[in-house]
């Protein structure tokens, strides 16, 4: 969330071609991949830790996914309506993932999850490069599903669904592996897995990017830039080396957080950060209002050189509503009602006497 605040502050505070804006935006690009990694990783981790109780989690994920795609989308729209009327937020992509990935982890093994993620990303990249629709609605569909390098004119920004979906699937496979280590009490194995994943991502991204520039130098890379190999900062649509590089950095951040949590379990700062993490969606909505509605209106009165001070002052404006929301237990309102309906239906089925009269004794024993 800190990197979200940093990048969005830079986007609206600095002039378009300012070097500080470019630098802070590049640093803040780690936010989206890390967010999606945490989401997918926790789905896989929870399934591996408690497979027999995972249906309860899946109901929750489905409800939250439906919320993000409906009410949540409208909340984000209202938070910065003057900037983005047509958009596909990262929360929309995550909403799709919450509807699908919790089911996929129950039917696919780790290797199959990774293969599905790789295949989905390859097809998505293929579509963004080779699919050249001529119709208006076909172009809108392309931008929404796989992304496009050219501006469609319909979206201010769009997190294409399929590439982020593929990245979330890969993260769920990582979560399953972490759960296996955790069940064995192998904390060191969890840390090694995270470290290996992070290093592999960054190194492979560097190799691919270096190979592209070497081929370009000798005149053999004509057209390869369309596949996103020219830069780790290719986010719209996300390239492979963008996911590998920033995903690797994000996994390093997660590893650092795990170590910090292990060394200071009862630290008040950690408790406060945990509370903020539980209201991340509210922080996400509020920061749009702060940086896209309030900041542009006062920007002309603020000297550019004092940006660290104004950025620091903006953080409490985002955090305070989140803490108030947490204390009020506001997350209970982040629902479309599916969770309650599905839980009651599940409970009624579990106590239906007619259901057990049809069961064989061997099935009841299991």
> Which phi and psi (to 5°) does residue 64 adopt?
-70, -35
**pTM of the complete model:** 0.92
- Residue 261 has a pLDDT of 83
Spatial separation of the C-alpha atoms in residues 329 and 333, rounded to whole Å: 9
Alpha-helical regions (H) of the chain: 2-13, 19-28, 31-49, 54-69, 71-79, 90-107, 110-130, 136-145, 161-183, 187-217, 240-263, 268-278, 280-289, 295-298, 307-327, 338-350, 353-357, 361-365
Within a 10 A sphere around the Cβ of 276, how many other Cβ atoms?
Answer: 18
- Residue 85 has a pLDDT of 75
- Residue 267 has a pLDDT of 76
Within a 10 A sphere around the Cβ of 323, how many other Cβ atoms?
Answer: 16
Nearest to 32 by CA among 267, 188, 242, 218: 242
Under DSSP, is residue 235 helix (H, G, I), strand (E, B) or coil? Answer: strand
Cα of 79 vs its chain's centroid, Å: 19
The structure tokens listed for 91 are: 């929360």
Nearest to 250 by CA among 165, 331, 167: 167
Taking 50 as the pLDDT cut, the residues of the chain under it are 355-366
Spatial separation of the C-alpha atoms in residues 316 and 312, rounded to whole Å: 8
- Residue 150 has a pLDDT of 67
Spatial separation of the C-alpha atoms in residues 228 and 121, rounded to whole Å: 12
- Residue 351 has a pLDDT of 61
Taking the alpha carbons at both ends of the chain, their separation in whole angstroms is 45
Nearest to 125 by CA among 148, 154, 158, 102: 148
Name residue 157's beta-bridge partners.
87
Within a 10 A sphere around the Cβ of 294, how many other Cβ atoms?
Answer: 13
Q: Under 8 Å CB-to-CB from 174, ≥6 apart: which residues?
A: 37, 40, 41, 44, 193, 197, 251
Query: Interior CA angle at 120 toward 114 and 122, to 5°?
Result: 100
Per-residue pLDDT tens digits for 196-243? 999 999 999 999 999 999 988 888 876 777 788 888 999 989 999 999
- Residue 152 has a pLDDT of 56
Spatial separation of the C-alpha atoms in residues 222 and 297, rounded to whole Å: 44
């Amino acid at each position: 969330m800190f990197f979200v605040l940093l990048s969005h502050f830079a986007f609206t505070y600095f002039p378009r071609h300012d070097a500080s804006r470019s630098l802070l935006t590049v640093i803040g690009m780690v936010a989206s991949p890390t967010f999606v990694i945490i989401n997918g990783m926790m789905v896989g981790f929870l399934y591996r830790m408690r497979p027999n109780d995972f249906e309860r989690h899946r109901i929750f994920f489905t409800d939250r996914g439906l919320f993000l795609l409906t009410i949540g989308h409208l909340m984000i729209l209202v938070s910065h309506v003057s900037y983005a009327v047509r958009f596909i937020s990262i929360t929309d992509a995550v909403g799709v993932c919450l509807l699908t990935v919790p089911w996929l982890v129950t039917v696919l093994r780790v290797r199959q999850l990774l293969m599905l993620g790789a295949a989905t990303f390859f097809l998505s990249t293929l579509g963004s490069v080779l699919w050249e629709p001529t119709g208006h609605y076909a172009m809108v569909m392309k931008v929404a599903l796989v992304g496009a390098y050219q501006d469609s004119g319909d979206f201010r920004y769009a997190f294409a669904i399929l590439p982020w979906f593929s990245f979330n699937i890969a993260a769920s496979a990582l979560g399953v592996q972490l759960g296996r280590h955790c069940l064995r009490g192998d904390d060191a194995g969890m840390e090694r897995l995270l470290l290996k994943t992070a290093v592999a991502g960054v190194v492979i991204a560097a190799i691919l990017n270096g190979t592209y520039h070497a081929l370009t130098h000798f005149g053999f890379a004509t057209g390869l830039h369309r596949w996103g190999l020219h830069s780790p900062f290719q986010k719209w649509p996300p390239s492979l080396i963008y996911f590998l590089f920033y995903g690797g950095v994000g996994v390093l951040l997660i590893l650092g957080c795990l170590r910090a949590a292990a060394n200071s379990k009862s630290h008040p700062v950690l408790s406060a950060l945990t509370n903020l993490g539980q209201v991340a969606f509210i922080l996400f909505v509020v920061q749009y209002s702060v940086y896209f509605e309030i900041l542009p209106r006062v920007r002309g009165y603020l000297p550019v050189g004092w940006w660290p001070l104004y950025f620091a002052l903006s953080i409490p404006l985002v955090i305070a509503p989140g803490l108030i929301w947490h204390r009020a237990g506001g997350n209970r309102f982040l629902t479309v009602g599916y969770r309650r309906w599905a839980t009651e239906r599940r409970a009624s089925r579990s106590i239906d006497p007619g259901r057990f009269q049809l069961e064989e004794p061997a099935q009841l024993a299991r």
